[in-house]
Amino acid sequence: MKPFTILFLSLLATAPASALAKSRVLSQHQEVNLQQGWLFSRDSLHWQSVSIPHDWAISGPFDKKWDLQYVAITQNGEKEKSEKSGRSGALPWIGRGFYRRTLSVPKRATHAYLQFDGAMSEPHVYVNGKLAGWWAYGYNAFRIDITPYMMKGRSNEVVVSLNNREESSRWYPGGGLYRPVSLILTGKAFLDPWQSFLYTEKADANEATLVYSDHVKGGQGEQLCERIQLYAPDGKVVATAEGKVGNDGKIGLRLRVARPQLWSPETPTLYQVKIELVKGQGRYATVVDSRTMKTGIRTIAFSREHGFQLNGVSRKFQGVCLHHDLGPLGTAVNKAALIRQVKILKDMGCDAIRTSHNMPSTMQMEVYDSLGMMVMAESFDMWHYPKCKNGYARFFGQWADKDIEHLVRNHRNHPSLVMYSIGNEIPEQWSQEGVDIARRLQDICHRLDPTRQVTQGMDRAEDALKSGFAQVMDIPGFNYRVYKYDRNISKLPQGFLLGSETASTVSSRGVYKFPVTVSDKNVYPDGQCSSYDTEYCSWSNLPESDFMAQDDKDYTIGQFVWTGFDYLGEPTPYDTYWPSRSSYFGICDLAGLPKDRYYLYRSVWNHRDHTVHLLPHWTWPGREGKVTPVMCYTDYDEAELFVNGKSQGRRHKTGRMSVSATAGKLVEKMGKEITDSLLSRYRLMWDSVVYEPGELKVVVYDKNGKAAGEKTVRTAGVPAALSLTADKDTLHADGNDLSYITVALTDKDGNPCPDTADDIHVEVSGAGTFQGICNGDATSLERFTEPHMHLFHGMLVATVRSGHKPGTITVEVSTASGIRQTITIAVK
């Protein structure tokens, strides 16, 4: 990255006491979240009341007709076209949608803006019947200046028109105002959050230096200054700064903080920042605008010598890729849902998220800041060359630079953000045109944010290296083909590389296929994948190959697994199978329930807590006497397995072996001996266990050979009870908070009944409402928004939403056979 210079009009660690004296407040700034009061229509004739965020398609019904595509998915290596029935989720997101509401603008407001955090898609905004503005990209935040169209002191009508075209997405994009909308009112001179930038210049345990720059809007010719106060988590002011605003509206300040509490995934400490825009001096000083924000004190760096460093300490990304849908909620963003995702991932040991393949919401970034999750904020899935007929390629030439600018300005103040991504598997990566575009987009990021570096996910390593495309990037990111890393690094002047997208292992929660095979070609009549975690795609690999690259190659700086959670659409390897309408790639299923693979990653990534996980379950009527392989995912190196008290032998993980020898196409390039060696470096396996009902137990041993823990799985009896477990038993009375209730069918002793598919009914009463339901079955066509669904391998998740008043939510869950259970959730 090129060196950069910022001119500071004032460099103050502590502002004069007189300047920071209390001032009169005449601020006209107001920001109103426009959540309620909207009407929605698909035809502009029939309207219904909705709240924002809203996804118009998530209620279904599922049907292959909604976006039936006859295409060859070139990213999957396909050369012949075929029918793709669930590629974009098989939900009714195609077509037009309209939102309208009225709002009043006070007479004292000088400027009025509508800010959209995202609208799917091609939003056109009308105020009082006139087009006020539009934006092309459904994933980006944008503002519309409605000042020329508003009537002060009177009611104004706002209409948002949206248009989702067929074959415009490779996954489920949702439809509607799926992210928050705000009305921003200001006076003549005001603070614009997209113009301010606060970052850590340097920091250690003793002192940190923060740099602030801003470009004040309006107020030209007036005597203005800005002042900043930085509050520690305990509420004490730890740094202040003040300076005059230049005639061009610009200002630069520094703050010095003694003994800072540094932000990291392990300690996500946030400071409160108060910024005031002041007119005049002394007792005549008036605060004309003010705002608060949060910041984290931390440094990031990338280098050949040290790889990636956070706060001066080298570490490797243990990341996942995430699409933007939230399973049964669809794309309507929700803070409680995001928090749940992050907590699940952090327990696995994950510390980073790639927002694939789109720009994140502001709400996402705020959650990642507060809970400690590093972020690769991605921009585009395509440039000029279209991956689907009506995708973003239609807009790239005219809109790309503006979209990148909005991405950076909207998110650069978040400490969780550690890098930008300007593309994913861009076909132009082989050409000089692609090199020029990559350089231009990267330079925009550098100009607006010199503190972060830029990457993108490249899937054609030879082409990208031959053209110079990979060499242009600050951070060379490669998708899959880990066995090519040694060849790639020899041609990269950066001296390091990132696994920007890895694994693409496929599995269905609770499904086990026999015999157990390692394959990139397995498909089955039921449209499911095996949870033995030995199946992957033609372009990808098993998790072990990426673990080895991360552990053994000093030049790698980590990985982002495809994907952390299943998502709607892209049901590979069942793109042509109906019904199949969601992915199998997730480490967790669409309901957020961990698959077995979750514990494999946890055993490698979670360095704080021990992991001992057994698979498969041990309820197999009809398999008596048949070989049923058993695996244990654990951070311990050795374990002994017992079936009804009889030892099946002790197993010990194997040592280090070559990535290049093990990461190609396993079936074509490996014999059984090499395959077993690959798996047994991170798994403990008993391949010849013969099933007999009863008890399966594993005992793990520490490095001294002493028993350190155990796990027992028992054969389940007749279903007799429902187990209800809520992720939260208390909700906020804000109308937005959610509780996720995991429903499992058990026998009389509490053993899960793993293959039951009973119909479940959910009844919600009291201080909340039913929100959604999901069982994680990619082939289920049952609606998410109706309070009934079949169990998928003994489990599902029901979600309830808080109301606006305190009280108690009562949730009664029942089966068709009459088994019932109740759980209560407090609302405060």
CA distance 241 to 254: 7
Our answer to whether residue 428 is catalytic in this structure is no
The DSSP result for 496-560, as a single string, is -EEEEEEE-----TT---SS---BSS---TTS---TTS-B--TT---HHHHHHHHHH-TTEEEEE
Tell me the backbone φ, ψ of residue 692, rounded to 5 degrees: -145, 135
Neighbouring-strand partners of residue 211: 199, 254
Report how far apart, in Å, the C-alpha atoms of 467 and of each of 92, 420, 444 are: 41, 22, 21
Residue with tokens 């550690």: 418
Contacts by 644-653, CB closer than 8 A, 24 or more apart: 644/692, 644/694, 644/695, 645/695, 648/686, 648/689, 649/686, 650/701, 651/680, 651/684, 651/685, 651/686, 652/684, 653/680, 653/681, 653/682, 653/683, 653/684
Q: Which residues of 176-191 are buried (b: 16+ CB within 10 A; e: fewer)?
A: bbbbbbbbbbbbebbb
Contact (CB, 8 A) for 346 and 564:
no
Q: How far apart are CA 486 and CA 489, in angstroms?
A: 5
Rounded to an integer, what distance in angstroms lies between the CA atom of residue 376 and that of residue 387? 22
Q: Does residue 592 contact residue 566 with C-beta atoms inside 8 Å?
A: no
| Angstrom distances, CA of residue 437 to CA of 138, 357, 400, 418, 501 | 21, 18, 10, 22, 21
Residue in 122, 226, 428, 501 annotated catalytic = 501
CA distances from 784 to 468, 530, 776 (A): 47, 24, 11
* Structural contact between residues 516 and 532, judged by C-beta atoms closer than 8 angstroms: yes
Q: Do 823 and 728 contact (CB within 8 A), yes or no? A: no
∠ CA 89-176-110, nearest 5°, is: 155
Query: Which residues touch 3 (CB under 8 Å, ≥6 apart)?
Result: none
Q: Quote the CA–CA distance of 163 and 95 in Å, as a whole number.
A: 6
Asked if 701 contacts 798 with a C-beta cutoff of 8 angstroms, the reply is no
- Ordered strands of the 820-827 beta sheet: 730-731, 820-827, 807-815, 759-766, 788-790
Cα separation, 218 vs 145, in Å, equals: 14
Other beta carbons within 10 Å of 3 = 5
425, 570, 640, 692: the active-site residue: 425
- Dmax (CA) for the chain in angstroms is 90
At 813, phi and psi to the nearest 5? -115, 135
Q: Give the 3-state secondary structure of residue 677.
A: helix
**DSSP secondary structure letter of residue 733:** S
Question: What type of residue sits at position 828?
Answer: K
Q: Burial, 674: exposed, middle or buried (Cβ in 10 Å; 0-12, 13-18, 19+)?
A: middle
Structure tokens at 705: 């050979």
Distance, CA of 683 to CA of 690 (rounded, Å):
19
CA 749 – CA 432 distance, rounded (Å): 66
Six token digits for residue 662: 């093990």
Q: Tell me the Cα Rg of the chain.
A: 28
State residue 544 phi and psi, 5-degree precision. Answer: -60, -35
Q: Which amino acid is at 723?
A: S
Pairing of β 612-615 and β 224-231:
unpaired
- Active-site residue set: 425, 501
